[in-house]
Amino acid sequence: AQSVTQLDSQVPVFEEAPVELRCNYSSSVSVYLFWYVQYPNQGLQLLLKYLSGSTLVKGINGFEAEFNKSQTSFHLRKPSVHISDTAEYFCAVSPLFNAGNMLTFGGGTRLMVKP
């Protein structure tokens, strides 16, 4: 089984400042990793994903994440945030080579960008 921990439930930050949203996971097998974003009263939208290859993954809206296998982390970063980045962000994992297994989500981190 897998578990995902998002260490911060809320992250307030000023506009144009950098931000890092933390995600750690636990799994006995190799995993795929995902970050989703949810704007108010909307569904989840894929931000980026790590499947294999380079550990630094670039996504939409200027976000990037780095997979660190030794630390079982997949932290999300953006060098300069905008007001429009205010949303809830979810980290998720799914195991390789396991038929029927689905995404396991973290509890979410609410990013609040202040002017």
Residues near another protein (CB under 8 A) are 9, 32, 34, 36, 41-46, 49, 51, 90, 92, 94-103, 105-108
* CA–CA gap between residue 112 and residue 2 (Å, rounded): 28
Question: Does residue 53 sit in helix, strand or coil?
Answer: coil
Judged by beta carbon, residue 72 or residue 94, the one nearer another protein is: 94
Least distance from another protein to the Cβ atom of residue 45, Å = 7
Render the burial of 36-69: b for 16+ CB within 10 Å, e for the rest: bbbeeeeebeebbbbeeeeeebebeeebbbebee
Judged by beta carbon, residue 71 or residue 97, the one nearer another protein is: 97
DSSP 8-state class, residue 54: -
Closest CA to 55 of 43, 69, 37, 44: 69
Least distance from another protein to the Cβ atom of residue 43, Å = 4
* CA–CA gap between residue 115 and residue 102 (Å, rounded): 38
Judged by beta carbon, residue 36 or residue 73, the one nearer another protein is: 36
Least distance from another protein to the Cβ atom of residue 111, Å = 15
Judged by beta carbon, residue 25 or residue 34, the one nearer another protein is: 34
Least distance from another protein to the Cβ atom of residue 79, Å = 26
